[in-house]
Structure 1
Amino acid sequence: MTTGHGTRRRTDTDVVVCGSGVAGLAAACALGRLGLDVTLLDKQRTQPPVWKGEVLQPGSLDSLHAWDALGRLEARQAVRLSRLVARTATGEELMALDFTVLGGERPWMLAHDYSTILQCMADSLGPTVRLRRGALVKELSHDSAGRISGVRAVADGTALDIRAGLVVAADGMSSRLRRLAGIDVEPVAYDHRLLSFELPGTLPTDDEVSAHATDRGLVMIYPLPDARIRVYIQVRTDELRKVSPADLRRWCEGLVAQVPALAPLAGLLEVNLDRRQLLPVWCYRAPSLVRPGLVLLGEAAHVVHPLAAQGMNTSIGDAEALAARLAAVDLADGSAVDGALRGYENDRMTRIRDVHTMSHNAARMMTSTSRAGRVLSRRLMRGTARSRRLNYLTTYNMSGLGMRPLDRLDRLVQLGVLPDLRARSFAASHSPAHPAGGAAAQLRRAGRDNR
């Protein structure tokens, strides 16, 4: 058959995944491990260099290990980061989240370039997964009952008609498939952007993400492989619009004056001003994750502020949860697939909401530029640091291993209004007879119960 695009090719597959970012690759890895026939499509032939999505939380590392991607990342010198530390502009420690207290086999974050993470995941795709780049998905296909039954795409002038038991929409924030499926989202832009720098050199502490809460907002610093440093600086949306090179140098001098902790990097920042990237910051959650025959994963479904490094990790969790729901399902049975999708949606909506709330609260604490906001956020962080229990829970929630949201009493403890009445029971569970790993397992069970 011929069309305006030349020859039309029809293909049958169990699953067609649209988008080969972290969510799409994770879905292809997880579903391919079930022995499913997976077709993975991406409109881009190569991944453009973007300085984002570089930190993987502990909760993602087991999945990457199971897919054989973790070893590839470590072979390419991925950096282990044991702590996430909130600091003042001068470097004073406000609160430290030490992932080693969680126990387990991999109690650390892992940092590498986003493109390298994607490449290692792509190299780990199983034998039942076919990756086709340069394929633009144009339409959804439907069966006689109106159920989504595949996609129509174009690649190299050839029209592709791919029929599948399931369509996975992992095509990012501007998802065409989400729109075609009739799922509307309302993205909300934060009132700032992040200016990103990649600097040559090493940091005095090489296993830490430092997030500085300053009068101008967030400044974040962490190491990357090959003796490189990533720096994110919060800027107003119009702060660097139409500035001259001389203006940029003056801006850099003012930045270091505002944030003395950046003084050791001042020269490198100035030299690399022309290599900066400016990243917009959004947040949203789709009101639904599924339609009959289709599921949204990753940024097609949810976007959070990057401060808490939850975007990639929640996407990987999406893929694992979807695979768990589909493990015993015949993909040829549309009603069974759709029942599994409804179960997946019920599972994930609560988790996505909790991650969204946690990330937004963390962003408000670190990015506030009002005097009242800065005073409140520092009080909350210092209160968390004083309570071993709250510090542990915050670390656990951030890790991606599970979720136990802080309640109103916890907030009052953070503010110093109430004593921590639950501290004694927490201390008992962390006694030598109940090591940290056991407590983390208890929290995972509690998180499942809450869902």
Structure 2
Amino acid sequence: MARTARSKGHEVVIAGGGIAGLSLALALKHGAGDALAVTVCDPGIGRDPGVDPRASAIAAGARRMLEVLGVWRQAEAGAEPMLDMIVTDSRLKDPVRPVFLTFDGEVEPGEPFAHMVENAALIGALRDACGTAGVTLAPSAVARFARTTDGMAVALETGGTCDAALLVAADGARSRIRRMAGIQWIGRSYGQSGLVATIRHERPHEGRAVEHFLPAGPFAILPLKDKDGAHRSSIVWTERERDVPALLGLAAEDLLAEVERRFGLELGGIALEGRVQAFPLGIGIARRFVGDHLALVGDAAHVIHPIAGQGLNIGLRDVAALAEAVTEAVRLGLPPGDEEALARYERARRFDTVTMGVMTDGLNRLFSNDLLPLRLVRDLGLGLVDRMPDLKRFFIREAAGMVGAVPRLMRGEAL
């Protein structure tokens, strides 16, 4: 494809109004300003984000990006820093859960390696910031698109069309845009589901995150901000998919008893805040992250197991890398869908994505079982890591998104 000079006001259309799509829209406006007209298309934009029960671990690199984009100040009011983390490995019936690995929570002095933020609050802050920055928020899905001489003709389900120099798929793991573009998906189901809920408990969590490795999969307890005087945590409960319908069909008090068996009594009595929701778990990656005037970000490009809490964070690294590549192209007088800019984005993200996928897949295979030899090996390995402070600091920086070729936004630098 020939590299051609741009005219002012090229449009970028982003299909998907979740955290990744809104963050990308905001980053592009901050980087390119009026040179780009940015539209986010999602039928959910017109709905209240408060119905989302999930919370996400925002790593230090992603937090730095949100701070540069002017979102963090609003989001921080509902954010809870992770001050430390412990890892246990046991059977569900074991009376004691020995701690094999501990991490303190600082990637730099005074900077926690992650904060827990409820998705609804972050999406609300991003929508507000996008509106202020001049991003168009369209409450409609993309119905279809077709290649034109210098971009894409994009048609919306609610009617109307627009000419986009770049179309971005940020519409999740079952991306319609990816499918319509003919980009193949390589993946498989884990036969597991992630059960997500918010828990109220009697005693404060003091910023501690806990990862209980159980035979069916990890049970994570993640600290949330107190609300209405109540201490709160988010749980991500990995369970065998075949057992989930029976669990969700339990009476409320019986389901709470199952949660309590896994949650433990360290924080006192517990109660469910809202209902438990289940999400299927799998691993997958798109064969290509880019096409002709097309780019994939977030779950549309890759899906990993939540065992390390990195799914959203690698999606936000996509956002930072794509925004940097597109902004540089626009400043050189090139269109945002410039072929070399998109190729640079794919090169920047492919290795990191595959590496994280392999790592989380291996961890899930290693820990989601009850084979005695494997338990002995993994517990020995956890104990050895716990005695190696330099290695633990490396893991903390890796989890914080501060290892390797870090995009400028993730370093806290403006584009």
What is the TM-score with the length of structure 1 in the denominator?
A: 0.77
User: Following TM superposition, by how much is the alpha carbon of 1:240 offset from its aligned partner in structure 2, in angstroms?
Assistant: 3.9
- Residue 156 of structure 2 is matched in structure 1 by 153
Residues 38 and 128, structure 1, Cα contact 8 Å, conserved in 2: no
Between the aligned partners of 2:39 and 2:274, the Cα distance in structure 1 is 40
Counterpart of 1:223 in 2: which secondary structure? strand
Partner amino acid, structure 2, of 1:95: L
- Residue 409 of structure 1 is matched in structure 2 by none
User: Following TM superposition, by how much is the alpha carbon of 1:204 offset from its aligned partner in structure 2, in angstroms?
Assistant: 4.3
- Residue 230 of structure 1 is matched in structure 2 by 234
Residues 305 and 363, structure 1, Cα contact 8 Å, conserved in 2: yes
Between the aligned partners of 1:244 and 1:338, the Cα distance in structure 2 is 48
Counterpart of 1:218 in 2: which secondary structure? strand
202 and 287 in structure 1: CA distance in 2 versus 1, 3 angstrom threshold: farther
Q: CA RMSD in A?
A: 3.0
- Residue 165 of structure 1 is matched in structure 2 by 165
252 and 72 in structure 1: CA distance in 2 versus 1, 3 angstrom threshold: closer
Residues 10 and 335, structure 2, Cα contact 8 Å, conserved in 1: no
Between the aligned partners of 1:187 and 1:117, the Cα distance in structure 2 is 29
Counterpart of 2:330 in 1: which secondary structure? coil
Residues 32 and 38, structure 1, Cα contact 8 Å, conserved in 2: yes
Counterpart of 1:368 in 2: which secondary structure? coil
Between the aligned partners of 1:123 and 1:286, the Cα distance in structure 2 is 31
Residues 99 and 399, structure 1, Cα contact 8 Å, conserved in 2: no
- Residue 27 of structure 1 is matched in structure 2 by 24
Give a deviation string over 1:363-400, Cα, whole Å, max 9, x none. 33443333333333222211211222222222221111
Between the aligned partners of 2:287 and 2:136, the Cα distance in structure 1 is 29
User: Following TM superposition, by how much is the alpha carbon of 1:325 offset from its aligned partner in structure 2, in angstroms?
Assistant: 1.1
Counterpart of 2:154 in 1: which secondary structure? strand
Alignment pair present for 1:361 and 2:362: yes
* Greater share of strand: 2
- Residue 5 of structure 1 is matched in structure 2 by none
What is the TM-score with the length of structure 2 in the denominator?
A: 0.83
Higher RCO (CA-CA < 8 Å; seq separation 6+): 2
- Residue 400 of structure 1 is matched in structure 2 by 401
- Residue 377 of structure 1 is matched in structure 2 by 378
Counterpart of 1:112 in 2: which secondary structure? strand
Counterpart of 1:402 in 2: which secondary structure? coil
Between the aligned partners of 2:248 and 2:238, the Cα distance in structure 1 is 19
Partner amino acid, structure 2, of 1:25: L
User: Following TM superposition, by how much is the alpha carbon of 1:329 offset from its aligned partner in structure 2, in angstroms?
Assistant: 1.7
Partner amino acid, structure 1, of 2:102: A
283 and 384 in structure 1: CA distance in 2 versus 1, 3 angstrom threshold: same
- Residue 284 of structure 1 is matched in structure 2 by 284
Between the aligned partners of 2:180 and 2:41, the Cα distance in structure 1 is 17
Between the aligned partners of 2:139 and 2:124, the Cα distance in structure 1 is 16
- Residue 147 of structure 2 is matched in structure 1 by 142
Give a deviation string over 1:293-325, Cα, whole Å, max 9, x none. 000011100111112111221121111111211
Between the aligned partners of 2:218 and 2:62, the Cα distance in structure 1 is 25
Counterpart of 2:111 in 1: which secondary structure? coil
Partner amino acid, structure 1, of 2:14: V
Partner amino acid, structure 2, of 1:24: G
Q: 2:71 aligns with which of 60, 69, 72?
A: 69
Partner amino acid, structure 2, of 1:209: A
Residues 219 and 237, structure 2, Cα contact 8 Å, conserved in 1: yes
Between the aligned partners of 1:229 and 1:297, the Cα distance in structure 2 is 29
Alignment pair present for 1:95 and 2:96: no
264 and 138 in structure 1: CA distance in 2 versus 1, 3 angstrom threshold: same
Structure 1 residue runs of 5 or longer lacking an equivalent are 1-11, 405-439, 446-451
Counterpart of 2:51 in 1: which secondary structure? coil
Between the aligned partners of 1:244 and 1:330, the Cα distance in structure 2 is 50
User: Following TM superposition, by how much is the alpha carbon of 1:250 offset from its aligned partner in structure 2, in angstroms?
Assistant: 5.7
Q: How does 1:5-16 map to 2 (within 5 A)?
A: 13-16=10-13
Residues 202 and 267, structure 2, Cα contact 8 Å, conserved in 1: no
User: Following TM superposition, by how much is the alpha carbon of 1:150 offset from its aligned partner in structure 2, in angstroms?
Assistant: 3.7
Which protein has the larger Cα radius of gyration, Structure 1 or Structure 2?
1
284 and 53 in structure 1: CA distance in 2 versus 1, 3 angstrom threshold: farther
Counterpart of 2:177 in 1: which secondary structure? helix
Q: 1:112 aligns with which of 105, 112, 117?
A: 117
- Residue 18 of structure 1 is matched in structure 2 by 15
Q: How does 1:205-216 map to 2 (within 5 A)?
A: 205-216=205-216
Counterpart of 1:376 in 2: which secondary structure? helix
Between the aligned partners of 1:51 and 1:372, the Cα distance in structure 2 is 37
Give a deviation string over 1:333-379, Cα, whole Å, max 9, x none. 45971110011111110111122223223333443333333333222
- Residue 122 of structure 1 is matched in structure 2 by 127
Between the aligned partners of 1:173 and 1:231, the Cα distance in structure 2 is 22
Residues 297 and 315, structure 2, Cα contact 8 Å, conserved in 1: yes
Between the aligned partners of 2:258 and 2:299, the Cα distance in structure 1 is 35
Residues 37 and 128, structure 1, Cα contact 8 Å, conserved in 2: no
Structure 2 residue runs of 5 or longer lacking an equivalent are 1-8, 91-95
User: Following TM superposition, by how much is the alpha carbon of 1:267 offset from its aligned partner in structure 2, in angstroms?
Assistant: 5.0
Residues 53 and 312, structure 1, Cα contact 8 Å, conserved in 2: no
Q: Identity of counterpart residues, as a percentage? A: 22
Partner amino acid, structure 2, of 1:51: P
Counterpart of 1:328 in 2: which secondary structure? helix
- Residue 424 of structure 1 is matched in structure 2 by none
Between the aligned partners of 1:243 and 1:360, the Cα distance in structure 2 is 25
Counterpart of 2:353 in 1: which secondary structure? helix
Counterpart of 1:62 in 2: which secondary structure? helix
336 and 291 in structure 1: CA distance in 2 versus 1, 3 angstrom threshold: closer
Across the two proteins, how many residue pairs are aligned to each other?
Answer: 385
- Residue 309 of structure 1 is matched in structure 2 by 309
Residues 55 and 111, structure 1, Cα contact 8 Å, conserved in 2: yes
296 and 246 in structure 1: CA distance in 2 versus 1, 3 angstrom threshold: closer
Counterpart of 2:14 in 1: which secondary structure? strand
Bigger mean CA offset, 346-355 vs 362-371? 362-371
216 and 292 in structure 1: CA distance in 2 versus 1, 3 angstrom threshold: closer
